[in-house]
């Protein structure tokens, strides 16, 4: 038996690279080499995807709660209403994102109708105004069950609705993208737009929860860590 010096064993220079990463690089480099898109365009789209989030959507609904005229605009011409909270659906290509299109509709909850959105065919989501979709929204589980057992699924999110309330599932299976405009909850009288926007969580704009004074985060679910997560600087860590 020779005397193996474990302390001097050579460590890999980089963390393990997955098949997915190898293929991502191969595909991207080939596309750039063949001129299908440029490296700059790739960066441009990545930057677009990094600056979207649910803030603008929350702002839009808070404004609508405070201003009946803006609310009417949000319901009748939602694309124009989005521009007033800094979201131009024609970005970043000049004709919209290729996968989110330019057909947006805001679903107004009433005392007798509650909306919840899904994409049973894949994961269509109003990304320009609401950011990237949550992982659970893309799962076959949510997509299969929400259309057929909406009340059971909503109750798993902690949302129980009375029998008298019509639950309306909106399946975004074509070019329209949807967002829910929940009802303004009691206990928010005299609140500013900032205060109202804070309780308009992503989940409440999907329709799996209701805005509630004091609740400013989404339902806490177990987050599955990525192998190679996007760091706060935007670069892989």
Among 5, 19, 33, 94, binds other proteins (CB under 8 A): 94
The two three-digit tokens of residue 74, written as one number: 């949000």
Among 38, 95, 139, 156, binds other proteins (CB under 8 A): 95
Among 45, 66, 73, 169, binds other proteins (CB under 8 A): 169
Report the site for other proteins in 114-133 (rule: CB under 8 A): 120-121
Told to judge if 119 belongs to the known catalytic residues of this protein, a careful annotator would answer yes
Nearest alpha carbon to residue 176 among 126, 118, 108: 126
174 belongs to the binding site for other proteins (CB under 8 A) = yes
Residue with Cβ nearer other proteins (62 or 153): 153
Question: Cα(183)–Cα(174) distance, rounded to whole angstroms?
Answer: 27
CA atoms within 13 A on the CB side of 24: 6
171 belongs to the binding site for other proteins (CB under 8 A) = yes
167 belongs to the binding site for other proteins (CB under 8 A) = yes
With contacts defined by CB under 8 A, name the span among 56-64, 65-73, 87-95, 214-222 that binds other proteins: 87-95
Among 50, 149, 194, 227, binds other proteins (CB under 8 A): 149
Total binding residues toward other proteins, as defined by CB under 8 A: 31
Nearest alpha carbon to residue 200 among 191, 211, 187, 209: 211
CA atoms within 13 A on the CB side of 225: 4
- Quickly list DSSP for 76-121: H-HHHHHHTTT--TTTTTSS--TTTTT-EEEEE-BTTEEEEEE-SS
Question: Cα(102)–Cα(14) distance, rounded to whole angstroms?
Answer: 42
Question: Cα(81)–Cα(97) distance, rounded to whole angstroms?
Answer: 18
96 belongs to the binding site for other proteins (CB under 8 A) = yes
Told to judge if 118 belongs to the known catalytic residues of this protein, a careful annotator would answer no
Buried b (16+ CB within 10 A) or exposed e, 97-120: beebbeebebbebeeeebbbbbbb
Among 31, 66, 75, 102, binds other proteins (CB under 8 A): 102
For the window 16-55, what string marks contact with other proteins as x by the rule CB under 8 A? --------------------x-------------------
Residue with Cβ nearer other proteins (93 or 195): 93
The minimum distance between CB 88 and other proteins, in angstroms, equals 10
Told to judge if 122 belongs to the known catalytic residues of this protein, a careful annotator would answer yes
Report the site for other proteins in 175-194 (rule: CB under 8 A): 175-176
The two three-digit tokens of residue 96, written as one number: 């919209």
Could you identify the residue written with the tokens 């928010």? Answer: 188
Residues binding other proteins (CB under 8 A)? 36, 89-90, 93-96, 101-103, 120-121, 147-152, 163-164, 166-176
Please list the active-site residues: 119, 122-124
């Amino acid at each position: 038996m020779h005397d193996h010096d474990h302390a001097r064993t050579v460590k890999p220079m980089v963390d393990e690279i997955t098949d997915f990463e190898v293929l991502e690089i191969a595909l991207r480099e080939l596309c750039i080499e063949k001129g299908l898109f440029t490296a700059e365009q790739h960066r441009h789209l990545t930057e677009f995807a990094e600056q979207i989030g649910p803030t603008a959507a929350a702002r839009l609904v808070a404004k609508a709660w405070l201003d009946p005229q803006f609310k009417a605009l949000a319901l009748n011409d939602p694309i124009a209403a989005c521009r007033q909270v800094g979201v131009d659906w024609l970005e970043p290509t000049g004709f919209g994102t290729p996968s989110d299109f330019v057909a947006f509709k805001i679903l107004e909850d009433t005392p007798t109708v509650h909306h919840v959105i899904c994409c049973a065919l894949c994961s269509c989501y109003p990304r320009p105004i609401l950011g990237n979709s949550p992982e659970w929204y893309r799962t076959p589980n949510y997509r299969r069950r929400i259309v057929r057992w909406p009340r059971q699924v909503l109750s798993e999110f902690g949302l129980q609705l009375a029998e008298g309330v019509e639950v309306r599932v909106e399946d975004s299976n074509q070019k329209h993208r949807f967002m829910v405009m929940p009802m303004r909850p009691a206990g928010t009288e005299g609140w500013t737009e900032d205060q109202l926007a804070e309780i308009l969580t992503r989940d409440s704009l999907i329709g799996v929860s209701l805005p509630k004074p004091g609740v400013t985060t989404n339902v806490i679910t177990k987050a599955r860590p990525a192998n190679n997560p996007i760091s706060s600087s935007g670069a892989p860590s």
